Structure formats: structure tokens, C-alpha cells
Amino acid sequence: MQTENELKEIVRQKYSEIALQDKETNQASCCGAGGCSTEVYNIMSDDYSELEGYNPDADLGLGCGLPTQFAQIKKGDIVIDLGSGAGNDCFIARHETGETGKVIGIDFTPAMIEKARTNAAKRGFTNVEFRQGDIEDMPVGGNVADVVVSNCVLNLVPNKKAVFKEIYRVLKPGGHFSISDIVLKGQLPAGLQQDAEMYAGCVAGAIQKNDYLGMIHATGFQDVTIQKDKAIIIPDDILASYLNEQELSAFKTGETGIRSITVFARKPLEEKCCPPGAGCC
């Protein structure tokens, strides 16, 4: 069993490699975790190309939803994107928030930050900023953001509770988030749970859907709503790398499911005297 720091380093190294790959290579794998499938098609991510503000250079095909489409971003909003990668969701959010708003992308992989800054500079964007940092301890002050978005990132973080507390901290009172992520129904086979490559591929790090939603409620968020819910089907040639024939058959015919959900939730306008997780109540 890897420690939290070891898992983070696995993700950092893998996504440093991904930053140098093209979109087609990433889409032929599990969230870009490796060119492990002979079936070349988009396994997890949705099509961004019809959204205003889309920039092909910034789309690495790593997402599992379209959180910016559901995020209700208004002109002048300050938006934070967690795990901003090459900047795809940031640039779409910038279109929504306009010249009077601001978008901050946070990523802990230096190669991704460099790629995103290059993409922003090419387009002359002055109100999109990329900061290197850990989303469990964001390099952002409290009560700053109107909206937080994230696309297929929290499943990669060992301490998801810490991330939700940080989202709560950086949102303004009444602010909200829209996050796309991978969750589970039932327990993954041991081969998928234990493999580091599948952790970096967004699957092994996922938790149960009810536990995920429970964390959001426990942090103190209100109006928790699932905006989209879809099944993720991993091709047999990928699964065969981690499961024997009997395990593969049992997995495909059992009740275990891998799903992509997009979740909305709002920080209360008025906080309780004892903030969630403070231990004073």
C-alpha cells in the first residue's frame, strides 16, 4: 500500500509525461495513464469542441465531464480550476467570465503549468493565471472565488476531505462549485485497486459515490445536486492488463460500476459560528 506522498509522486510523474503527449495518445488511454488500449477512442472525456472559448491546444483529452458547461459562471466572476492541466477549462471559463472576471488555474505538475502559461500567452490572455500548488492546500486566500470547477482530478487525490475543506475555504459565501469526477458503485477488483498505473488513470483512486457525496454534505455545502451521471466503460484490452480471465468476467457481469458524475454544491451565505471540521461544536 502506497503512502499519500508516494501516490502523489506517481500522479506527478505520470502527468508530467502526459503534458508532452498529444491529445490522441491521451484519449487512447485511461485519463492519459498510458497507451494501453488498442481500441483508439475517447474512454472518459466528453467533447469540448462545441463550447465557446475552446482551444484545441489546451485540450489533452484528460477530463471525464464538462464542468464549465454546468458551472453557471457569470460575467465578472472569479473562477478557480483545480487541476488545470494545459488550461482547457480555464479558457472556457474565461469566455464565460469575460474581461472583467478572472480565472485561476491550480496544478501541482510543473510541466502542466508551463504548458498552460504558454497557451495563455499565445492568446494574449491577461486575466487567466496559473499557479503551481497542491489543491489540498491551495495557494489562494479565503473567500476569493465565486465559482470552483474541476475535471477528473479529485479522484487522484488521496485526501479528498482536505480538498473539499479547501474548496469551502476559498469560495465566497454563496459561491458554488461544479466538479466532474470518477466515482464507484461497488468494490473494484483487487488488481485495479492496487495498481499504480490505474491510480494515475483515475480509476483506482475513486471512492464510492455515496461516500463522495457524503463528504460534500459533511463539509457544510448546501444544494448538493448531481448535474450529470454517466457510465464509464473500460475496454477489455485495458482490463486484461490487471485482471485474469475469471476476474474480468466477474467484473463485467457483476454489479460494480465506474461512473462519471458532475456535482454542484453551494457554500452557505451565512456560515455557522463553528465552521465544518473545526471541532468546536
Instruction: Give the domain ranges of the chain.
Output: 4-266
CATH topology for 4-266 is: Rossmann fold (3.40.50)
Q: What is the mean pLDDT of each run of 10 residues along the chain (281 residues)?
A: 61 61 50 42 56 68 82 98 92 95 95 93 94 96 97 88 97 98 84 58 76 97 96 78 82 82 95 58 51
pLDDT value, residue 96: 96
DSSP string, the chain: ---HHHHHHHHHHHHHHHTTS-HHHHHTSSTTS-S--SS-S-SSPPP-TTSTT--GGG--S--SS-HHHHS---TT-EEEEES-TTSHHHHHHHHHH-TTSEEEEEES-HHHHHHHHHHHHHTT-SSEEEEE-BTTB-SS-SS-EEEEEEES-GGG-S-HHHHHHHHHHHEEEEEEEEEEEEEEESPPPHHHHH-HHHHHTTSTT-EEHHHHHHHHHHHT-EEEEEEEEEE----HHHHTTTS-HHHHHHHHHSS-EEEEEEEEEE--SS--SS-TTSS--
Pairing status of strand 171-185 against strand 257-266: antiparallel
Rounded to the nearest 5 degrees, what angle is found at the Cα of 138, between the Cα atoms of 132 and 139? 60
pTM of the predicted model, to two decimals? 0.82
